[in-house]
Structure 1
Amino acid sequence: MIRYVLAVVLLIALIALSMPAIDSGATMNTERQVDASLAAIDEKATSLIETEEVTPDGHPNPQRVVELSLPRSTLTTAGVDHVELVPHESGQYTHARYVLEDGTTRETIISEQIVWDDPSETDTTELGGAGEQRLALVLLPDETGEPRLVARHV
């Protein structure tokens, strides 16, 4: 009987000692997945700006579709609360920030400016919650005719 009690106590102690490592691993796994999604946005945005031009009225606008994988909260991944793409006021890049459900915040830079839905505005693109999401990056002219990357949900 003492052996069983001792085995249960040791099992509980091992689980308690391993939980911080499991949580840290889950956070690192999620950061890796979200960083890969943000790198895909950066790659598609750069490709669109470098290889395409704004089209005349009546023609389809050039675009790239990015599939984002924002993990849900599981034993091996921390859940994503939200992702923001904030255009920098200089117009040269986008500040990408994501927050996990445990409050961990991470930031990175996307090398092109991306605005939400309207090329004449500088609104932040917000992607809420975990799951698979599709984002279209469309090359549109702004009010001066200059090309601008606009994000839209697909």
Structure 2
Amino acid sequence: MIRYVLIVLVTVALLVLSMPAIDRAATLNSERQVDTTLASIDDAATDLESNEEVTPAGHPDPQRVVDLALPASTLTTEGVDHFELDPHESSGYTHARYVLADGTTRERTIDATIVWNDPDRTDATEIGGSSDQQLVFRLVETDDGDPIVVASYA
């Protein structure tokens, strides 16, 4: 009987001691997944700006589609509370920022200006929560005649 009690106590102690490591691994796993998504966004937007031209009226705009894989909270991943692409139109880059459920915040610079839905506004692209979604990036012309990447949901 004492053996069984000792086995249970050792098992519980090992679980309690391993929880910080499991939490840290979940955070690292989520960071890896979201960083991969950000790299896909960066690749698509910079490729669009570098290798495409704005099309004349009446023709389809050049576009790229990116799958967003924002993890949910599970034992092996932390959920994403907030995901945002904030354009800096005068500088030609976008500031990407996300916050995980445990409060971990990460930032990255994307080498293209990405605006939400309207080429003549500088609204940030905000995606809340954890889910799988698709974003479409189109290269369009502003009223000033400058090319810009516009994001919208697929």
Q: TM-score range by the shorter chain?
A: over 0.9
**How many angstroms does 1:94 deviate by?**
0.4
Segments of structure 2 that go 5 or more residues without pairing to the other structure are none
* 1:40 corresponds to: 40
Taking the aligned partners of 2:43 and 2:83, their CA distance within structure 1 comes to: 17
Aligned AA for 2:46?
A: T
* 2:111 corresponds to: 111
What TM-score does the superposition give when structure 1 sets the normalisation length? 0.96
Q: Deviations over 1:11-54 (max 9, x none)?
A: 11100000000000010001001000000000011111111111
* 1:137 corresponds to: 137
* 1:91 corresponds to: 91
Aligned AA for 1:142?
A: T
What secondary structure, in the 3-state scheme, does the structure 1 residue paired with 2:90 have?
coil
What secondary structure, in the 3-state scheme, does the structure 2 residue paired with 1:10 have?
helix
**How many angstroms does 1:97 deviate by?**
0.4
- The number of aligned residues is 154
Is the 2:87–2:113 Cα contact (8 Å) retained in structure 1?
yes
% same residue: 62
Alpha-carbon RMSD: 1.0
Following superposition, which runs of at least 4 residues in structure 1 exceed 3 angstroms of deviation? Answer: none
Q: Deviations over 1:80-132 (max 9, x none)?
A: 11210001253311000011111111111111110100000000001111121
Once the two structures are superposed, the pairs formed by residues 1-154 of structure 1 within 5 Å of their partners are: 1-88=1-88, 90-154=90-154
Taking the aligned partners of 2:142 and 2:90, their CA distance within structure 1 comes to: 15
What secondary structure, in the 3-state scheme, does the structure 1 residue paired with 2:112 have?
coil
Segments of structure 1 that go 5 or more residues without pairing to the other structure are none
Taking the aligned partners of 2:121 and 2:130, their CA distance within structure 1 comes to: 27
